[in-house]
Amino acid sequence: MKKAFYIEWLWMKTHPTITIALVFIYYSCVSEFQPRFIGSDSDILVANSFIFADSVPVVSLMRSKNKLGDDWHPEKNASVKIEKISPNNSSDLQTFDLLLVDSVYKSLIPLEAGFEYRLKVRSKDGIILSASTYIPFPVKVDSIVRSQGPVMSFDGHTGSTNLDRIFFHPKAEAVNYFETKFYRRDVLSNPDEWGIAVEDNYSIYKSYNRDEIILSENLPDQFLFAFPFSVNGNAGSQIQLTFYRGSMVFILETTSAEYYHYKKSLYAHLDAISYQAFTSTSDLYNPSIFKTPLPLFSNIEGGRGIFAGLSRDFYIIERYWYEED
């Protein structure tokens, strides 16, 4: 026993480098593993703003100290400006200073359609964000015709149903970007003694759409609250868009390219991550869990977020008896 101990001591004395390495490996195996996430201490600054024609701009500016974004809080004491750009992009026509009101930055001056706008943000610690977008002129809905027509169900069977055929003329531009929505009025929300609503309260309506234009967008679902799509406007011909019968008010939003790409990426992203939090073993065999979450489209330079312009037109499909002229 003493001889074996002496040999081991002699080997450690003559091979000090190997001995130190073995001791390090031993303690590395028995000590608790403490992961370090690269860049986890870096701040994330996100600016979000959808600017509408004839509306005041509102910018949400949020910061997180965590790379995973688990502790968002409003970014205060920042300089937030929106610049109105001349059509030839040669100069700034007007600068809007936005002030912090109720955790968002607002201006009291409404914006106009037909102009490009540039967002400029400088945080209190010197982080600079910038982005540009365009508020398009609204495309008007020509008419909506309610009729019956053939429809193919999701299981391949054909039948007939009530349809809304929406007609409009896109602008004579290479590409027009749009988003559609339906709203219904909550008539009995605040009825008076005759049962007539005193206040107009509307809620968004989820609807189906299997129109060829919408199907060509390859959206992950055809049962949505809003449908982004694009059409070619060079021909200047009238566009027909067919919906399963919707509700009272049809909204046609003419959007910037930034909004269109953001909304398309948002739908694809949400579709992929909806299968991430499975709760049962059977979900492990669902092929949808292998969908890869795509990054959201962002046009904010120096940070993340979206700055996009929209214009809106609406069409009342039908009126109640007490609204008739």
pLDDT of 39 reads 43
Distance from C-alpha of 196 to C-alpha of 219, rounded to nearest angstrom: 39
User: Is residue 305 packed enough to be buried (19+ CB in 10 Å), middle (13-18) or exposed (0-12)?
Assistant: buried
CA distances from 196 to 157, 182, 248 (A): 41, 22, 16
pTM across the whole model: 0.76
Contact 190, 201 (CB under 8 A): yes
Distance from C-alpha of 253 to C-alpha of 232, rounded to nearest angstrom: 16
Q: Mind listing the pLDDT tens digit of every residue in the chain (325 residues)?
A: 544 444 444 444 555 554 444 444 344 444 444 444 444 456 789 999 999 999 999 999 999 876 666 688 999 999 999 999 977 766 678 999 999 998 999 999 999 999 999 999 999 999 999 999 999 999 999 998 887 766 665 566 666 677 888 999 998 878 999 999 988 876 555 555 555 555 667 788 888 888 999 999 999 999 999 999 999 877 668 899 988 876 688 999 999 999 999 999 999 988 887 755 555 666 666 666 666 677 889 999 999 999 999 999 988 886 543 344 3
Contact 230, 298 (CB under 8 A): no
Structure tokens at 70: 């688990």
Helix, strand, or coil (residue 129): strand
Any idea of the CA torsion for 240, 243, 249, 255, to the nearest 10 degrees? -60
Give the residue from 187, 185, 178 showing the smallest Cα distance to 205. 185
Contact 271, 263 (CB under 8 A): no
pLDDT of 320 reads 45
Give the residue from 101, 98, 99, 112 showing the smallest Cα distance to 55. 112
